[in-house]
Amino acid sequence: MEKSQNKIKVLIAKPGLDGHDRGAKVVARALRDAGMEVIYTGLRQTPEMIAEAALQEDVDVIGLSILSGAHMALAPKILTEIHNTGLDEVKIFLGGIIPEEDKPKLKKLGIHGIYGPGTSTKTIASDIRKAIS
Amino acid sequence: MTSVSDILNGDRLAITRALTEIENGSSQGKTTLNELFPHTGKAHIVGITGAPGTGKSTLVNRLAYEYRHPSRDRPPLSVAVVAVDPTSPFSGGAVLGDRIRMRDVAGDPGVFIRSMASRGSLGGLAQTTAGLVQVFDAAGFEVILVETVGAGQAEVDIADLAHTTLVLEAPGMGDDVQTIKAGILEIADILVVNKFDRPGAKNTLRFLKNMLRQVDPEERYELHHGQRSPFPDLPITEAEKNKPGWDPPILTTIATSGEGVSELVERITNHRNFLLSSKRWSLKEERRIKREMDTMLQRELLIKWRDSTSSTLYQRTLKKLVKREISPQRAVQLLLEGDE
């Protein structure tokens, strides 16, 4: 009984300026239904705000939703900020409209998984479980 | 590994790791709490409760901002926030959305916001909320704002944890009969009518004022919160009976614009001063700590009993009960006796 108290904690954040948070909310809800504790931060988060929230909430996973095309500018900044907090084990996932040619670069930077439109939320939940087990 | 001295020095990584250990009920977390406890007892713990959608998170955001950037002649104070949201009874998961409304204090090193899921607790807080509050207290945060799950009528656990309890109301949440029911309104040290710019706000204010006028402040010394504790109560001292009571004020706020928030912080501070000067602070602390111990004792007794009882006996007894061969009363008796 005591053991099962260890819940997977996920921060869902929307960096940058686009205001489309439908996807982020759908994922948040789906991860809730997969038994995870999801902290939703809302729109227009700066890299500093995301790193700070991740630190204060001590999350296992950060899910970023970027639909603005600014992922190549935002992702490195977010990764640096998170590294600066000292959260070294946190796994970062990215969802949104990401062109094929950018994916290898983002993975190389340290993004754990990338999901485009049409991804099953079950896939995301099981990838998260695998990543942190 | 979390180091106690790092927590006492306010190291944010050490604090956040300790909070997680405590939430998960790990032995590391328990050790940390044992070591931190002597360093607690300094912070002013302020509870914020009220029905879902009354504006608790938005008000907490404004309160934190006001403590950090006082609009009156007050020194700025460091603020920790513990915000509790419900856990799904089906999946065990949760969406914690209180941070969405707490943007004004982002990036301030004097503020630390932690969300937590209720993980099955019913009283409006999680089982480990008190533990998290102790970490922040030991780490030197001067004010700790605890936001409950959106509470209905009976979630009154916050009054056991907080020194000062705010109960939020918003217009359009029910008629005047609601205000004479027992429960959440009774635990308020300060009543707040939020969303005061909304239609019907003046009626809500009038209902609440009428309700309060019927309460004799002299009678408002604390017993227990209705729940009969199986453990002995602390006696009510003569001194406690004869002290002048606190008359809960009603304030109005518009949390989205910040209107009324400065005045609210003033009153919260007044309440703290009242508790300190009337010696109620120490009485409250005594009762608070006792309740915490009682709750923990109940929980641990249950675990001890469970570990000492064979699960076959449990299953067998349950089967008899389901077939209605024995009554629930009898079943419990059998289980406690440990035989058939």
pLDDT tens by residue, A44-96 = 888 999 999 999 999 999 999 988 888 888 899 999 999 999 998 999 999 98
Read off the CATH number of the domain in which A125 is found: 3.40.50.280
* pTM for the predicted model, two decimal places: 0.88
Q: Is B153's pLDDT higher than 70?
A: no
What is the percent of chain B with per-residue pLDDT over 70, rounded to a whole number? 86
Which CATH architecture fits B40-283?
Answer: 3-Layer(aba) Sandwich (3.40)
Better pLDDT: B312 or B222: B312
User: For the segment B98-119, what is each residue's pLDDT rounded down to a tens digit?
Assistant: 888 888 888 899 999 999 988 8
Q: Of A113-127, B35-49, B90-104, B185-199, which range is least confident? A: B90-104
Residue A68 domain boundaries: 3-132
Yes or no, beta carbons of A35 and B97 under 8 Å apart: no
Interface contact flag, A7 B92, Cβ < 8 Å: yes
| Per-residue confidence (pLDDT) for residue B338, from 0 to 100 | 78
* Helices B280-308 + B261-277 axis angle, to 10: 90
Average pLDDT, chain A: 89
Q: Does B269 have pLDDT greater than 80?
A: yes
Q: What are phi and psi of B250, to 5 degrees?
A: -110, 125
Cα separation, B254 vs B248, in Å, equals: 19
The answer to whether B119 contacts A6, with C-beta atoms less than 8 Å apart, is no
Contact A86 B13 (CB under 8 A): yes
Note whether A29 and A79 are within 8 A (CB): no
Choose among B91, B94, B107: nearest Cβ to A49: B107
Answer yes or no: is pLDDT of A1 > 50: no
C-alpha distances (whole Å) from B57 to each of A32, B62, B184, B246 are 20, 9, 18, 26
Interface check B24 vs A, CB under 8 A: yes
Question: Which range, of B37-41, B173-177, B278-282, averages the lowest pLDDT?
Answer: B173-177
- Cα separation, A66 vs A71, in Å, equals 6
Nearest-CA distance A81 → chain B (Å) = 12
Nearest to B119 among A5, A41, A56 (CB): A5
Report how many Cβ contacts below 8 Å link chain A to chain B: 83
* Cβ neighbours of residue B335 closer than 8 Å, sequence gap 6 or more: B309, B313, B314, B317
User: How far is Cα B272 from Cα B44, in angstroms, rounded to an integer?
Assistant: 7
Number of residues that this document lists for chain A: 133
Residue of B nearest to A28 (CA): B95
Cβ of A56 within 8 Å of Cβ of B91? The answer is no
Cβ within 8 Å, pair A58-B106: no
ipTM: 0.88
**Is the CB of B64 inside 8 Å of chain A's CB atoms?**
no
Q: Do A40 and B95 touch (CB under 8 A)?
A: yes
Whether chain A has a CB inside 8 Å of the CB on B19: the answer is yes
Beta-carbon separation of A58 and B117 below 8 A: no
Residue A38 has its nearest CB partner, among B16, B20, B93, at B93
Q: Name the least confident of B20-29, B146-155, B285-294.
A: B146-155
- Split into its structural domains, chain A has a count of 1
Q: How confident is the model at residue B290 (pLDDT cuts 50, 70, 90)?
A: confident
> Partners of B146 in the beta sheet?
B47, B82
B3 in contact with A at a CB cutoff of 8 Å?
no
Q: What is the mean pLDDT of residues B147-174?
A: 82
